Amino acid sequence: MAAAEDVARHLVMAGRVMDDDPQTALLHARAARRRAGRVAAVREAVGIAAYLCEEWTEALSELRAVRRMTGTNEVVPMLADCERALGRPERALDLLAGVTGTISNELAIELLLVQAGARSDLGQDAAALALLRGPAEKAKGKGSHVARLRYAYADILLDSGDTAGAAAWFARALDADVDSVTDASERVEDLLGVVYEDLDEGEEETDESLESGSTSE
């Protein structure tokens, strides 16, 4: 029982700090793995934390184990991204091609993003743009997946020399990026010289102006 509680405690701590402090999350996840290395949730926590820390070899090993244990396709985008980071885009494409069955729209977008990235790694920007163009144009609404899809399309447009097209798509990515998962605002600023001020800062400036105005009266 004590061992199980210790594993659970480390998993909870890893989950709490995963986004803000992946290094600490990785330490907790590794500690859990020492006690429960055959538990898929533990191996997944190690894999995700290692991925966020850019420990590509460890992440690849752990996420492969998760896929063997569970059969899930959810880890395939990270697996393929690890292969890309290790300089093996062809292996990334092979992994992506092996995904079968019904998948969610979110997972489909993740797979597409990594596939386009792998094509770009291979110097196949035209193929990467062809993969992303239709989905980027059809994507509706706001949210991280739409923002990242538009951003990826813009990024490859920029790499291919289409600065005007890239600027337009970075702006569209910014419009969808309600959770600030990309640096689209900085990219638009760099390309167009348009500065997007933080809303809270703008509100503070307005409040200060009003106070100054009332004092002068």
Give the span between the Cα atoms of 5 and 156, in whole angstroms. Answer: 47
How far are the Cα atoms of 103, 206, 210 from residue 199, in angstroms, in the given order? 37, 11, 17
Give the span between the Cα atoms of 45 and 59, in whole angstroms. Answer: 10
Rounded to two decimals, the pTM is: 0.83
Tokens of 171: 């702006």
Residue spans per domain, the chain: 136-217
Tokens of 86: 């290790």
Q: Are 81 and 72 in contact (CB under 8 A)?
A: no
Each of the 217 residues of the chain gets a pLDDT tens digit; together they read 578 999 999 999 999 999 999 999 999 999 999 999 999 999 999 999 999 999 999 999 999 999 999 999 999 999 999 999 999 999 999 999 999 889 999 999 999 999 999 999 999 999 999 999 999 999 999 999 999 999 999 999 999 999 999 999 999 999 999 999 999 999 999 998 866 555 444 444 444 443 444 444 4
Give the span between the Cα atoms of 83 and 59, in whole angstroms. Answer: 10
Question: Which residue, 144, 97, 91, 89, is CA-closest to 119?
Answer: 89
